[in-house]
A and B are shown apart, each in its own frame.
Chain A
Amino acid sequence: MASTTVPASLVGALDDDVRIERHRTWKRFRRHRLAIAGAVVLVAIALIAIFAKFLAPADPNYIDQVHWQGYPLAPGVAGHILGTDENGRDLLSRLMFGAQISLTVALSAVFMEIVIGTVLGAISGYYGGLVDYWIMRLTDVFLSIPLLPLLLVLTAIVSATSNKAALSFGVIVVIIGLTSWPSTARLVRGSFLSLREKEFAEAARAIGNRDGRIIFRHLLPNAVAPIIVQATLDVAGVIVLESTLSFLGFGIQPPTASWGNMLQDALTPDARNAPWLILTPGLLIVTTLLGFSLLGDGLQVVLDRAIAQEPGGAADEHPSVIASPLTYEPG
């Protein structure tokens, strides 16, 4: 790259342009109040999850044998702010540690999904031809199987070959990550199909860059905006998937708390008289999902307008991509 000589003043001016554009995007984002609200809620939940060890009033798996007598303790009783579950474990502490698990699973799985989807989509869109054809047929295969049943069968295969305890944190992440990338691949492929025809791509090729460098240094940064939006919405999608799996007993296994398996515990007859056991994990899930949807929606509008200001870009006043493709499935 260094072999081409560009006047230093021009480099400086370009950097300034980039900085001004970033500043504008940030300003637009700050004006989007709902997105800010979503971000604030998410940061709060993330902080609680990260510092659960210090904030939680008790160990999440500790059974309060002094006060617990075989049925859930009501909120406020014996120093348990939100009460205990049917096994006498402090609910607030379990919620905090559950947040840790649920968020980590979602973020790791989405990271994996985005990496796989971006690489395959970029290769597919950049090279075209037979490579493109076969990668797209592979996405067709994945997209034709509804995600939730597929995940359930895969987790059942894992637990049938060894036992349910094998469904560890890592296994769940890998299973979700390996199955949910096709929509990302399609999205990235779409961007790359048009980007590879642009003049700067031509120029990058002309000065003799290798394909890998063109794809990742020149084209990818221009395709990042829609990927960020999709990733944000997908985190919400994966939280639903993970909590549904855990709720059905094929996700994170007890005694480790996750928001999903806490609701499974809440199904016992005892819990029927303890509505707080069902109410609190669900409210937390809904709040988190709302946060991600608002943030994703806001990002879409903000980044869309950033693209629209470039010559040839188009603004969509009413974005039609409104939810993660992962969530769009009846339960």
Chain B
Amino acid sequence: MQYFGWLGNVLRGDLGYSTSNSEPVVQAILERLPATLLLMGSSITLSLLVGVGFGLFAAIKPYSIQDYIITTLAFFGQSMPVFWLALMMQLAFAVAGITAFGYHFALPSAGISSSDEFDLGDRIQHLVLPCLVLSFLSIATWSRFMRSSMLEVIKTDYMRTATAKGLSRSAVILRHGLKNALIPVVTIVALSAPGLVGGAVVTETIFAWPGMGRLFFNALGQFDFPLLMGYLVLISFLVVLFNLIADISYAWLDPRVKYD
């Protein structure tokens, strides 16, 4: 019965109050949203550019050296637990630092800024490590996805037609091939988006990034169940929403797909 009361409140947009600092759950989550969006936005952009690029590069010459190098890297990327990668990056670039050209340079290992005043350079320095760590897995997965999708496309008749028309190789690959190969990639990106909006629990915790993931982890330590439930509700809602978006964009990008 208590559950149905809670459910009714959720439908009215009221997720209750956090038990650890008696703040409304909705407010607590919204406060953390900008930091998470900044981290996720930059991570998605980076992974898309690099992942699609790598996949494409590997697919134009399948079973060549470049293909093997990229595929091997992707394999390693998929086998790297995020928390270990984060620890290693912290150790290498923040604790040890890089010494080059007589300068010693170390990236900040934690937080979102050094002082309360906003400074773009400082913000970017703080962003680099968590963003790289987060992008690693997506780059690995998306590049393999892109590769197999592009290999499918290259075999098709319309690609042969485009070549037969006398178009240059780059025009065939980029104008005709890339467009069609990207369709399944759009879906997988849309499907991974909610997890990214929900914040990366592990990465944000290790790098002390004040986003939703760390909010969730702190709530976990204090058994703040209203906040935890609110987080799960929100993130599940996003999963359903993005599934819908993926389906719609699929039909929109590929007119051959029809839904009843």
Contacts and interface: CB of A to CB of B under 8 A. Distances in A.
A149 B83 contact: no
> Most B CB atoms within 10 A — which of A146, A149, A249?
A149
B29 interface: no
Nearest to A286: B79
B141 A149 contact: no
Interface stretch (A13-21, A173-181, A186-194, A288-296): A288-296
Contacts of B88: 278-279, 282
A149 B144 contact: no
Interface string A259-275: 00001001100001001
Nearest to A140: B240
Which 8 pairs, one residue from A and one from B, show the smallest C-beta to C-beta distance? A331-B82, A282-B84, A289-B79, A331-B202, A318-B148, A160-B223, A290-B79, A144-B239
8 contacts: A149-B231, A153-B220, A244-B202, A248-B202, A272-B91, A327-B78, A330-B43, A331-B81
A124 interface: no
Interface of B: 43, 75-76, 78-84, 86-88, 91, 95, 134, 137-138, 141, 144-145, 147-149, 151-152, 192, 194-196, 198, 200-203, 205, 216-217, 220-221, 223, 225, 228-229, 231-232, 235-236, 239-240, 243
Nearest to A145: B236
Given A318-B148, A330-B192, A149 B235 contact: yes
A272 B95 contact: yes
B201 A149 contact: yes
A144 B240 contact: yes
A153 B226 CA distance: 11
A322 B145 contact: yes
Interface string A301-331: 0000000000000000111101100011111
Contacts of B223: 156, 159-160
Contact of A240 (B81, B195, B229, B236): B81
Given A153-B228, A293-B79, A331-B83, 7 more contacts: A146-B235, A149-B198, A149-B232, A248-B205, A322-B78, A330-B43, A330-B200
Nearest to B80: A286
- Which label, helix, strand, loop or mixed, suits the secondary structure of the A interface? helix
A102 B17 CA distance: 37
Contact of A282 (B76, B87, B192, B216): B87
Given A145-B236, A244-B81, A330 B134 contact: yes
Contacts of B225: 156-157, 160
B138 A330 contact: yes
B76 to A, nearest CB: 7
Interface of A: 143-146, 148-150, 152-153, 156-157, 159-160, 236, 240, 243-244, 247-250, 263, 266-267, 272, 275, 278-279, 281-282, 285-286, 289-290, 293-294, 317-320, 322-323, 327-331
Contacts of A263: 83-84, 87
Given A156-B228, A248-B202, A330-B138, A145 B76 contact: no
Contacts of B200: 330-331
A255 to B, nearest CB: 20
Nearest to B144: A322
Nearest to A160: B223
B84 A148 contact: no
A322 B55 CA distance: 14
B87 A278 contact: yes
Given A318-B152, A330-B138, A331-B200, A145 B145 contact: no
Nearest to A275: B91
Given A148-B201, A149-B232, A323-B141, A329 B240 contact: no
A146 B239 contact: yes
A66 B79 CA distance: 39
A267 B43 CA distance: 25
Nearest to A148: B201
A54 B229 CA distance: 46
A244 B220 CA distance: 14
A330 B81 CA distance: 10
A160 B220 CA distance: 10
B75 A290 contact: yes
A36 to B, nearest CB: 15
Contacts of B192: 328-330
A145 B237 CA distance: 9
B225 to A, nearest CB: 8
A294 B80 CA distance: 14
Contacts of A290: 75-76, 79
